[in-house]
Amino acid sequence: MNPILQSAIGSILRWALAIIAGYIVKKGIWTATDATTYIEAGTMALLALGWSLWEKYSKRSKLLTALMLPAGSTENDVNAHLASGAGTPSVLTPPDTAPGVSQKTTT
């Protein structure tokens, strides 16, 4: 991940958690020391969760794109397709549906 982006996301999360922690300290639920500890821990937990979700999303996108490309395509072909910004299938494509093919519905 880009270090500047990572730093910016961390700052935004710490800012949001600091507001929440300030309210909790004001209500007397936490001490100021507790709030600092919880803000740091919460920021790390949210960053780890976000990273995990991004990894799962990108792997699913890569898999579905590979399935959509012609047979015999290489991993480099898949990466080039993704890098080009060309259309990719939805990561919400059901496992029993071919990527890029809409499922027919009967009414």
Per-residue three-class SS string for the chain: CCHHHHHHHHHHHHHHHHHHHHHHHHCCCCCHHHHHHHHHHHHHHHHHHHHHHHHHHHHHHHHHHHHHCCCCCCHHHHHHHHHHCCCCCCCCCCCCCCCCCCCCCCC
pTM, 2 dp? 0.60
Q: pLDDT tens for residues 10-69?
A: 788 888 888 888 888 888 888 888 888 888 888 888 888 888 888 888 899 899 999 999
Residues 89, 60: contact at Cβ < 8 Å? no
pLDDT for position 53: 86
Per-residue confidence (pLDDT) for residue 94, from 0 to 100: 85
3-state class (DSSP) for residue 3: helix
Which among 88, 84, 92 is positioned nearest to 56, based on CA atoms? 92
